[in-house]
A and B are shown apart, each in its own frame.
Chain A
Amino acid sequence: MTVSAYLLLASVLFVIGTATVLLRRNSIIVFMGIELMLNAANLAFLAFSRMWGNLDGQLAAFFVMVVAAAEVVVGLAIIVSLFRTRRTVSVDDENLMRH
C-alpha cells in the first residue's frame, strides 16, 4: 500500500485545500488553501516518481514549487493593493467598487 497511502494522504490534503477555498472568506487564508493543494499535488508527483523509478516526477514537483513561489509573490501583491484601496481582505467585500 506504499503508493496508495501517499495518494490517499495527498487526496485528503487536496480536499482540505479545496474546502478552504470554498468556505473561507479571508483572501489570505484562501490563498494558503491553494498552496496546500499545490503541495498535495507535489506529494502525489513524488509518490508516482518512486513508483515508476525515474526522476521526472521530482522535476515536475520542483517546477510546481518554482511556479508557486512566483504565484505567491503576485497574489500577495494583489491582496496588498486591494487592502490599500478597500481596507479589507475579505473576498466578499471585493465588489465594493459597485456600491
Chain B
Amino acid sequence: MSPLAAGDPSLVMSVSEQVLFWTVGPIVVIAASALLFAKRAVVTACSVMVTMVGLAFLYVGLEAPFLGVVQVVVYTGAIMMLFVFVLMLVGVDISDSFIETIRGQRWLSLLLALGLAAVLGGAVWRASFSGVAGLAQASGGNNPGAVAELLFSDYAFTLEVTGCLLVIAAIGAVVLTHRVRLTAKVTQADRARRRVRDGLHLTPPPAPGNYARHNAADVPALDASGQVIEDSVPEVLRMRGQVHSLHGLAQDLVPGDVPPDEEVKP
C-alpha cells in the first residue's frame, strides 16, 4: 500500500481542486515539453508562456492568489516578453539544430534526466505526509495583506537586499549591452550630403505599392514607364523572398476584374 493513500482526510483533494489540477496539470506539462521538442525558439517561448499562466492558476488553487497574480505579471508579462524581445533581436527565424556535436551526449543526457526523475519521483512517493494544515488561519481571508505583513516585518532586510540585487542587475544589463562608439555618428544631414555628393536618389524612395495594382507592402512600386522598382519593397521582405511579383499578382486576378485596355505588366 502506497503512503499516498494514507487515511488523513485533509490529504484528499476536494473535487473542485481535482478538476483544476487534472485540467491545468496536463496542459502545463504538455506546454513545457515544447522546450524539448519544438524546433523554433518562438514556438518554445509561446508554449512556456502557456506553462506560466497554467502555473498561476495552480498557485491560486494552492491558496496563494497574490503569487498567482505576481506570476502572471512578472513571468508572463515581463520575463517572457523579454525573451520574445531578445528572440526578435537575434532573429525570429533561428531554429535549433538537432545534430549531435558531442558523441553520445543525447543518450547520456536522457539517462541523467531519467535518473533525476527516478530520484525525485521516488522521494515524493516514499515520503509520508501527516496532513495539510491549509492557509485559512495564516492568511486570515486576506492573502496579499498577510504576505505583505510578513514581507515588511520578518523579511524586510531580505527585501532590501533583493532591491539592491535588482539595481545591480539593471546596471549590469546596461554595462553588458553597452557598445563603445568607434566612428562618428551619422546624422541625417550627413546622409543628405552623401546622397547629393554620390548622385543617388535625392527624393525619398517610393513606397511599395505606388502606382501598382495593389497597395500591399510586398508589392513593388512602379515607375512612370511601368517598370518595377525593386528598392521600394522593405529589405526584410526582399531578403526573405516574400516579394509579391506583379506577374504572380496578374495570375491571381480574376479575369473579369481587369479592364482589357489595362494590361498588367509582368
CA distance A32 to B48 in the complex (A): 8
| B132:A25 contact, CB within 8 angstroms | no
Flag B166-181 by CB within 8 Å of A: 1 or 0 each: 1011101100110100
Do B110 and A74 touch (CB < 8 A)? no
Give complex CA distance A40, B99 in Å. Answer: 29
Q: Give B102's nearest chain A residue, CB to CB.
A: A92
Q: Which residues of B are found within 8 Å of A73, using beta-carbon distances? A: 82, 169-170, 172-173
Chain A residues near B58: list those with CB within 8 A.
Answer: 6, 9, 43, 46
Q: In the complex the two chains form, what is the Cα distance from A65 to B77 in whole Å? A: 13
**B29:A28 contact, CB within 8 angstroms:** no
Contact A55 B135 (CB under 8 A): yes
| Complex partner residue of A65 from B17, B74, B109, B137, CB under 8 angstroms | B74
Q: Is B192 an interface residue (CB 8 A)?
A: no
Cβ 8 A contact of A22, one of B17, B59, B109, B137: B109
Residue of A nearest to B29 (CB): A12
> Which of B28, B120, B135, B176 contacts A78 (CB under 8 A)?
B176
Interface string of A1-44 (1 = CB under 8 A from B): 11111111101111111111011111011011101100100110
> Residues on A close to B: CB < 8 A?
1-9, 11-20, 22-26, 28-29, 31-33, 35-36, 39, 42-43, 46-47, 49-56, 58-59, 61-63, 65-74, 76-81, 83-84, 89-90, 92
Name B residues whose Cβ lies closer than 8 Å to a Cβ of A.
4-5, 10-13, 17, 21, 25, 28-29, 32-33, 35-36, 41, 44-45, 48, 51-52, 55, 58-59, 62-64, 66-67, 70-71, 74-75, 78-79, 82-83, 86-87, 89-90, 94, 96-97, 101, 105-106, 109-110, 112-113, 116-117, 120-121, 124-125, 127, 129, 131-135, 137-139, 146-147, 150-151, 155, 158, 162, 165-166, 168-170, 172-173, 176-177, 179
Additional A-B contact list (20), CB under 8 Å, known A28-B45, A46-B59, A76-B82: A1-B13, A4-B125, A9-B58, A22-B113, A32-B44, A32-B83, A39-B55, A39-B75, A50-B133, A50-B135, A51-B133, A53-B133, A55-B147, A61-B67, A73-B170, A73-B173, A76-B86, A77-B172, A77-B177, A80-B90
